[in-house]
């Protein structure tokens, strides 16, 4: 660990391997998720998009992709990924979802329940928000709080609403996406960093 101004940064330990791509142990083609159903929030880009594609390669029977933006291209990629991996085409459900809105989340529960016959095995809370960096005094309070609205309240809303369906599964996997921002002190990152830290403890309570 070294100091830079008032910030503390952790240097990766020598037992940590940096990865930039999928490696054999986690290659989705090694898994068989036939008969399993997953929901991924904020699946329109980045980690969420890649996760949906990986579940298709692993043979998941149902993949719900949710976001506020269009998911048409993602749904096409997910189908193509399943075909390329020699897997049956999954039941893909594209949902318009705002994780901060309880009504939107409840509507999503109804859609998933109908499409997947009340079955959900994997829930991935990937939706997130990163406010502009700035000191606590200089930041717009509404922008600062938006980190908590999406990163904490959003995770709570989705988990709370989908938990009754998830708990019926024998697999019952819940993944909340956080980041190194939760465990490092970076100047100007008080909103995102503290919100992601809160998600880590919320996950412990859920467990």
Residue at 142 is within a domain: yes
Tokens for 5?
Answer: 């101004």
Catalytic residue among 55, 129, 148, 192: 192
- pLDDT, tens digit, for every residue of 41-62? 999 999 999 999 999 999 999 9
Residue at 27 is within a domain: no
Residue at 8 is within a domain: no
Tally the residues of the chain. 207
Segment 106-114 shows an average pLDDT of 98
Give kind and range of the element (H or E) at residue 41. strand 37-41
Residue at 82 is within a domain: yes
Residue at 1 is within a domain: no
Domain residue limits at 68: 33-206
192 part of the active site = yes
- List the beta bridge partners of residue 60: none
Residue at 18 is within a domain: no
Domain CATH number, residue 161:
3.40.50.720
User: Rounded to an integer, what distance in angstroms lies between the CA atom of residue 98 and that of residue 45?
Assistant: 15
Residue at 6 is within a domain: no
pTM metric for this prediction: 0.89
State how many domains the chain has. 1
Q: Give backbone dihedrals phi and psi of 38, rounded to 5 degrees, phi first.
A: -130, 150
Residue at 135 is within a domain: yes
79 part of the active site = no
* Edge-to-edge strands, sheet with 173-176: 91-96, 62-67, 37-41, 122-125, 173-176
- List the beta bridge partners of residue 62: 37, 91
Q: pLDDT-derived band of residue 195, with 50, 70 and 90 as boundaries?
A: very high
Q: What is the structure's pLDDT at 11?
A: 52
> Has residue 16 got a pLDDT over 90?
no
Q: What is the structure's pLDDT at 97?
A: 98
User: Rounded to an integer, what distance in angstroms lies between the CA atom of residue 143 and that of residue 146?
Assistant: 5
Catalytic residue among 25, 96, 196, 205: 196
Concatenating the DSSP letter of every residue in 61-107 gives: SEEEEEESS--HHHHHHHHHHHHHTTPPPPEEEEEE--TT-HHHHHH
Q: pLDDT-derived band of residue 1, with 50, 70 and 90 as boundaries?
A: very low
∠ Cα 82 87 91 (to 5°):
65
Q: What is the structure's pLDDT at 58?
A: 98
| Pairing mode of beta strands 2-4, 173-176 | unpaired
């Amino acid at each position: 660990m070294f100091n830079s101004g008032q910030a503390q940064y952790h240097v990766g330990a020598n037992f940590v391997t940096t990865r930039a791509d999928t490696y054999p142990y986690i290659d989705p083609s090694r898994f068989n998720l036939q008969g399993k159903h997953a929901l991924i929030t904020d699946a329109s880009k980045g980690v969420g998009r890649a996760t949906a594609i990986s579940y298709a390669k692993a043979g998941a029977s149902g993949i719900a992709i949710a976001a506020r933006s269009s998911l048409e291209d993602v749904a096409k990629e997910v189908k193509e990924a399943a075909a390329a991996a020699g897997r049956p085409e999954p039941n893909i459900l594209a949902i318009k979802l705002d994780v901060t809105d309880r009504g939107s989340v409840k509507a999503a529960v109804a859609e998933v329940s109908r499409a997947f016959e009340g079955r959900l095995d994997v829930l991935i809370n990937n939706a997130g928000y990163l406010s502009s960096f700035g000191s606590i005094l200089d930041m717009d309070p509404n922008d600062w709080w938006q980190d908590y609205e999406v990163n904490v309240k959003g995770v709570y809303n989705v988990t709370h609403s989908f938990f009754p369906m998830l708990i019926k599964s024998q697999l019952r996997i819940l993944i909340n996406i956080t980041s190194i921002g939760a465990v490092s002190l970076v100047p100007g990152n008080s909103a995102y960093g503290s919100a992601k830290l809160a998600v880590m403890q919320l996950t412990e309570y859920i467990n």
